[in-house]
């Protein structure tokens, strides 16, 4: 149990893969489900996508408590804002509130300040589907797609090569699942299943993608084959 | 007012027996006696117009304005006590800047109206006296062009067209005859100028200066003074229309 004791002072890290992709008419935001401290997995079915409003969602990576706290503050402020304007908020407004909190609480040294790298995405009637990248430090920028978390380093090439404009909702969901499962295959602190939230003019839809539906990569066990007894090892893409 | 001297008008903290706050009524009187201000919402924006009564022929043209911008997309026309009006505009500017800083986007018209109304309302409960200002607020935001009127009592309402000040009665009748939903702001400017000249009482107030502003598609949704050439055209047309009426 040494590996646990040694890491007792650390808080759970959502060593993670998160993604947000905009398509014509909406956005897809996704994440893996692993939460770990070092090499100990605290939770294999966690939900790293937090609703900030009816129409805006936040995918969280970095320190789990830090990002939860940011999300809670933003939800509080957005709730008041929604009461005042009497309609769903603009995505830009919600993302800006999250950014303000991250920016105003950043620390230079480890242990001080927030460790929060997030992707904020949603749909509003003024500007349609929008994705905002919000890396550590409080940068906020609108992008067609964003990835973050430890697993994201493994899929930059995939994103650059495979993303294209004009994807449909279904194509975008498949694209996100593929990106996250590729990251989960290579990144030790990303894994489990894939969670997706799709937001468009008709509202938000949640989707949980289990191993039954996912393609295995590299040396991953194909759970579908393991289950039916024909089990083997995947030999790559 | 029959109640003068009954002692219920010395502070805003006392109701009269028939349920009035006389200080608020007096503030409204200050507005009712000042130059007329008009606002109309056309299909592509909002037009504001003010009849600024000039107290001296020596006054430099364009000084003591009654129309102000409080954000890129929002403008205010005030009537009543000019100095009180500037205080309200300062507050509106602070609210707009604060909102943009906090939420990262321009303040919606409805919210700005509410904030100004709440501010005015405070002075009907606490403090020295209420503001003697009627406020017309023109905004063009993501929801489209909007016109609001905020009274001294702290009531804020949205209008298609409205008027405050001396000539408000006549002006409102004229506004009702306009087809606002089919009118562009360019046409609206002419109509507003005409109405202001029409309701101006030459017998009581000699000189006045016409102030015109708009926030519309033509001004890239920014609140600006109406371009000088259009202003001149509108003023000439208004004077001509008035002479035609006199001839009849």
Q: In chain A, what are the domain boundaries? A: 9-226
The three-class DSSP label of residue A153 is helix
- Please count the other Cβ atoms lying within 10 Å of the Cβ belonging to residue B125: 11
pLDDT of residue A12: 64
Q: Which residues of A touch B108 (CB under 8 A)?
A: 85
Least Cα distance to B29 among B79, B66, B75 occurs for B79
Q: Quote the tokens at residue A7.
A: 């890491």
pLDDT class for B203, splitting at 50, 70, 90? confident
CB burial string B159-189: b at 16+ within 10 A, e below: bebbbbbbbbebbbebbeebebeebebbebb
User: Which ipTM did the prediction report?
Assistant: 0.77
| pLDDT of residue B179 exceeding 90 | yes
The three-class DSSP label of residue A44 is coil
Residue B182, CB-side half-sphere exposure with 13 Å CA sphere: 3
What global pTM score does this model have? Answer: 0.85
- Please count the other Cβ atoms lying within 10 Å of the Cβ belonging to residue B236: 11
Catalytic one of A16, A33, A50, A67: A16
The three-class DSSP label of residue A167 is coil
Question: Is there a contact between B108 and A85 if contact means CB atoms under 8 Å apart?
Answer: yes
Q: What percent of chain A clears pLDDT 90, i.e. is strictly above it?
A: 73
Cα dist from A40 to A44, B17, B51, whole Å: 10, 75, 75
Instruction: Tell me which chain B residue has its CA closest to the CA of residue A127.
Output: B142
Q: Which residues of A touch B114 (CB under 8 A)?
A: 84
DSSP secondary structure letter of residue A192: S
The CA-based angle B187-B188-B193, given to 5 degrees, is 105
pLDDT class for A7, splitting at 50, 70, 90? very low
Work out the average pLDDT over A149-178: 96
Catalytic residue list contains A17: no
Neighbouring residues of A202: CB distance < 8 A, sequence distance ≥ 6: none
DSSP secondary structure letter of residue A11: P
CB-nearest partner of A92 from B104, B108, B110: B104
Q: Quote the tokens at residue B94.
A: 């602070």
pLDDT of residue A73: 97
Tell me the C-alpha distance between A120 and B142, whole Å: 21
Tell me the C-alpha distance between A185 and A188, whole Å: 8
CATH of A9-226, one of 3.40.1160.10, 3.60.20.10, 3.30.930.10, 3.40.50.720: 3.60.20.10
Question: Is there a contact between A126 and B103 if contact means CB atoms under 8 Å apart?
Answer: no
Least Cα distance to B108 among B72, B140, B63, B150 occurs for B140
The answer to whether A164 contacts chain B (CB < 8 Å) is no
Number of domains in chain B: 1
Question: Is there a contact between A84 and B142 if contact means CB atoms under 8 Å apart?
Answer: no
| pLDDT of residue A11 exceeding 90 | no
pLDDT of residue A2: 46
Question: Is there a contact between A85 and B104 if contact means CB atoms under 8 Å apart?
Answer: no
Burial class (CB in 10 A: 0-12, 13-18, 19+), A128: middle
Cα dist from B49 to B127, B178, B220, whole Å: 31, 15, 19
- What are B40-56's pLDDT values in tens digits? 999 999 999 999 999 88
* Containing structural domain, residue B221: 2-247
Q: Quote the tokens at residue A86.
A: 């009497």
Tell me the C-alpha distance between B202 and A161, whole Å: 75
Strands (E), chain A: 18-23, 26-32, 35-37, 40-43, 49-53, 56-62, 116-124, 128-134, 141-143, 145-148, 194-200, 203-209
pLDDT class for B183, splitting at 50, 70, 90? very high
Question: Is there a contact between B102 and A126 if contact means CB atoms under 8 Å apart?
Answer: no
Work out the average pLDDT over A199-216: 92
Chain-centroid distance of CA A124 in Å reads 20
- What are B85-126's pLDDT values in tens digits? 999 999 999 999 999 999 999 999 999 999 999 999 999 999
**What CATH number is associated with residue B175?**
3.60.20.10
Q: Which residues of B touch A90 (CB under 8 A)?
A: 105, 142
Cα-Cα-Cα-Cα dihedral of A137, A138, A143, A149, to 10°? 40
- What are A33-59's pLDDT values in tens digits? 999 888 889 899 999 999 999 999 999
Work out the average pLDDT over A174-203: 95
CB-nearest partner of A92 from B105, B110, B111: B105
């Amino acid at each position: 149990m040494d590996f646990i004791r040694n890491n007792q002072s650390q808080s759970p890290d959502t060593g993670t893969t998160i993604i947000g992709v905009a398509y014509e008419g909406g956005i897809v935001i996704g994440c893996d489900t692993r939460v770990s401290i070092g090499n100990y997995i605290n939770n294999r079915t966690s939900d790293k996508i937090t609703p900030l409003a009816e129409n805006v969602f936040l995918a969280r990576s970095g320190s789990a408590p830090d990002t939860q706290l940011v999300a809670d503050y933003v939800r509080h402020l957005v709730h008041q804002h929604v009461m005042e304007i009497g309609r769903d908020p603009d995505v830009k407004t919600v993302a800006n509130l999250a950014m303000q909190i991250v920016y105003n609480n950043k620390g230079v040294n480890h242990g001080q300040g927030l460790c929060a790298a997030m992707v904020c995405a949603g749909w509003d009637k003024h500007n349609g589907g929008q994705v905002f990248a919000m890396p550590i430090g409080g940068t906020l920028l609108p992008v067609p797609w964003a990835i973050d978390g430890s697993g994201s380093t493994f899929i930059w090439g995939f994103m650059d090569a495979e993303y294209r404009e004009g994807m449909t909702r279904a194509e975008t969901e498949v694209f996100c699942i593929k990106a996250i499962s590729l990251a989960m295959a290579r990144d030790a602190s990303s894994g489990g299943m894939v969670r997706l939230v799709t937001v468009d003019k008709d509202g938000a839809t949640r989707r949980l993608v289990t191993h039954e539906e996912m393609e295995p990569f590299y040396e991953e066990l194909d759970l579908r084959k393991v289950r039916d007894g024909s089990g083997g090892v995947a030999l790559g893409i | 007012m029959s109640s003068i001297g009954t002692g219920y008008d010395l502070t805003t903290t006392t109701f009269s027996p028939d349920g009035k706050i006389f200080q608020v009524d007096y503030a409204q009187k200050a507005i009712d006696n000042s130059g007329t201000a008009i606002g109309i919402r056309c299909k592509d924006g909002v037009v504001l117009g003010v009849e600024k009564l000039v107290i001296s022929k020596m006054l430099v043209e364009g000084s003591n304005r009654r129309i102000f911008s409080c954000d890129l997309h929002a403008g205010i026309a005030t009537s009543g006590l000019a100095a009180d009006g500037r205080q309200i505009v300062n507050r509106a500017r602070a609210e707009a800047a604060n909102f943009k800083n906090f939420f990262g986007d321009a303040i919606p018209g409805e919210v700005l109206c509410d904030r100004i109304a709440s501010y005015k309302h405070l002075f009907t409960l606490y403090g020295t006296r209420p503001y003697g200002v009627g406020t017309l607020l023109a905004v063009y935001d993501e929801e489209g062009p909007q016109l609001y009127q905020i009274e001294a009592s702290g009531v804020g309402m949205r209008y298609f067209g409205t008027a405050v000040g001396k000539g408000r009665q006549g002006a409102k009748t004229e506004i009702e005859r306009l087809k606002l939903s089919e009118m562009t702001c360019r046409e609206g400017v002419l109509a507003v100028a005409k109405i202001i000249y029409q309701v101006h009482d030459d017998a009581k107030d000699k000189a006045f200066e016409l102030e015109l502003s708009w926030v519309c598609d033509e001004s890239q949704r920014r609140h600006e003074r109406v371009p000088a050439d259009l202003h001149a055209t509108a003023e000439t047309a208004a004077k001509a229309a008035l002479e035609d009426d006199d001839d009849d």
